[in-house]
Amino acid sequence: MEEKRRENCKLRSDVMKSGTDRALARLLMMAGGITKEQVKKPLIGVVNSYTNIFTGHAVLDKICRYVEDGILMAGGTPAVTNTIALCDGMCENTPGMLYPLPSRDIIADSVEAYVNGHSLDGLICIANCDKIVPGMLMAIMRLNIPAIFLSGGPSLPPDGGYDDATKFAKIMAATEDDIDAERNEIENSPMGPCGGCNSGMGTAVSMQIMSEVLGIGVLGNSTVPHFFTRRYNMGVWAGQRIVEMVYEDLKPSDIVSKESFKNCLRVDMMMGCSTNTTLHLPAIAAEAGYKITLEDFAKASRETPQIAKIYPSMSPHSMEDVRLAGGIEALLHQGIKGGYLNGDVNTIYGKPMCEMVAHAKVLNPEVIRPFDNPYTKEGGLAILKGSLAPDGCVIKTGGVLPEMYEHSGRAKVFDSEPECYKAIINGEIQPGDCVVIRYEGPAGGPGMREMLTITNIIRAKGLDRSVSLITDGRFSGGSVGGVIGHICPEAIKGGLIGLVEDGDIIEYSIPKGTIDLKVDEETLAKRREKWVCPPPRIRTGMLAQYAKLATSAVRGARMLGDPSIEEDLVSIDY
């Protein structure tokens, strides 16, 4: 029966390779080393973002080979290619930091071009880091052919206390004139076995978790380290499964639904994931035809306790601890059982999520706490709105000290991250200040810089208990403290953040969900009359294109050629 079904299956790739007029296509494939028999089989795209230049992706070539083996075992033909990968950590506090977020859309476009250009039948995307994971998930939703996402996995927490957040902050904060023996020791200590950049709750891990919750990723993506046998088995299984999915015609639109994205928002809050999820989830959802707003995040936060805390959010726990506590599977099972998650959503396994995690158990209730004993009654992210950010902004509450849940400070204003960096190094920031970094949004940057270096310097100098940082740029999942990003509208679009002056008082309150500039309207009106929109910082190349086409941060900061497309998106109705 199975063989007959396969024989009668009309493959998507037939349009490219079958028929007398397609002899050239067949010739080109066979001249490249693919046999005549392999040409007839399902062509499975394997898009791999391997690079040897940084740890997060240096392992992906090996995983790719296991995926290829699985495809061949199942009777498919792997069609392998690469896409770009940038490391946010390497780009921090350099001109290169303008590129990672725009690269997300380029990655999605490159996957689309490769897959549709060759009419491939199925797709496996292999990635590990901050923008590459969401970029590939965007492509998967957009293409809507049978697809699986597989990550390279996190690293293990290394020996020597490297992942203690305070010590890591000292590395990031070090300057040429400020290197001491302790910093040298930390910097030269091993990071742990090659895999993801760390085992903490950064953006990479956050988005790997989201791939599992969406039902598109292999379970274990965010917790199983690269070099574990299970990771290689995951690769072989994914290769075999994608061929089955082609014959089943099981597409992302058959798997991902409104409820899938609602589950993502709730798990986001349960885990205290990166603030970058407020950029990536709306962008991924839009490719699937759905609309997620900041208000959806806010509602999810108000209704969902944070039951897991992973460093650097003032916690000793790592993703390895989560794995040993039962993994994301255990958290999903607990969430379904507790009524917080919908277990009827579909998965790449061809079974509902509730069935896939039915046997998972929480093995350490301190790492994954029960809902009646959460770390906090509300979620790990909070959305703030007020005069300074009428469209909204975001803060990672899971990483905020209690004394910084509310803050009123004197503004110290900088028109770029490099200006702020110099000021902090020179000791110009004092306790009680509210640091404002503007013109770093999607259009203003352009590219919406991530500011991990700045937040780590503030922490290393012991200012995180009294200094807040507010920006229309964004932060790493590794940033903690009273740091508020994604101020919308951004400065270059006429947002109020562009009118702030040194000495102004800025107040925010996480419990109240507010953020306000305490300057009277008459004064602001005079400032508006004098304000002049600065010229574009970059006028050519991909950054100029991104500045022109990127939506606001509240809409995912994704490149959009035709804004009317957003009118067709369906609300998830949180």
- Which single residue is written with the structure tokens 């797709």? 123
CB 543 within 8 A of CB 447: yes
Report the b/e string of 3-24 with b at 16+ CB within 10 A: eeebeeeebbbeebbeeeeeee
CB 14 within 8 A of CB 40: no
CB 478 within 8 A of CB 472: no
**Spatial distance between the Cα atoms of 57 and 88, rounded to a whole number of angstroms:** 12
208: three-class secondary structure by DSSP: helix
540: three-class secondary structure by DSSP: coil
**Spatial distance between the Cα atoms of 510 and 482, rounded to a whole number of angstroms:** 10
| C-alpha dihedral, 323 to 327 to 331 to 334, nearest 10° | -110
Residue 196 half-sphere exposure, CB side, CA atoms within 13 Å? 36
Residue 263 half-sphere exposure, CB side, CA atoms within 13 Å? 30
DSSP letters for 78-115: EEEEE-----HHHHTTSGGGGSHHHHHHHHHHHHHHHH
Give the dihedral sign, CA 104/110/116/120.
negative
Residues acting as catalytic residues: 476
Q: How far apart are the first and last CA of the chain?
A: 43
CB 399 within 8 A of CB 379: no
Token pair for 2: 């199975």
Q: Which of 313, 278, 271, 270 is nearest to 296 (CA)?
A: 278
